[in-house]
Amino acid sequence: MSIGEMLAATVPLVRTLNLEFLETTPEKAVVSLPDQGEYHNHVGGPHAGVMFTLGESASGAVVLAAFGEQLSRAVPLAVSAEISYKKLAMGPVTATATLGRPATEVVAELDAGERPEFPVSVAIQRGDGAVTGEMTVVWTLRPNG
């Protein structure tokens, strides 16, 4: 099962919004949101909450790709998130999430008995390449038990 399929199976909102996982590596995830009128705002583009969900989902995908091998001993959780809406988003939009610290550093902290935190940066773009939003999600790996 791919990371996109896993998220669609376990996170109902991913299915509801029809998010498409275009690329998922331990360093980067690219997720697209099709243009869907039922999720538009008052100016005809994706609602701010939908764009937040797109960005957070992309960040979660890169976290799972980077730390999937740690799931037996730690749970990835979002700690905080900040988003800036830069330009009007119209049509389909794509979120590109990038891991903000080397995974080896994060795993080393987990190995040392710590609860590591690490940022994931997200750029949200419309079809013409214009950045419509920027987001940072801080994640942690909470040790089990």
d(CA 7, CA 64): 10
- What are phi and psi for residue 14, nearest 5 degrees? -60, -45
Residue 19's φ and ψ, nearest 5 degrees, are -65, 140
pLDDT number for residue 1: 86
- Whole-model pTM: value is 0.96
Q: For residue range 11-62, what is the model confidence (pLDDT) as tens digits? A: 999 999 999 999 999 999 999 999 999 999 999 999 999 999 999 999 999 9
In angstroms, the CA 16 to CA 74 distance is 27
The Cα 133–Cα 142 span in angstroms is: 28
Q: 3-143, what's its fold?
A: Thiol Ester Dehydrase; Chain A (3.10.129)
> Residue 106 phi/psi, 5° resolution?
-65, -45
Q: What is the distance between the alpha carbons of residues 114 and 143, in angstroms, rounded to a whole number?
A: 8
% of the chain with per-residue pLDDT over 70 = 100
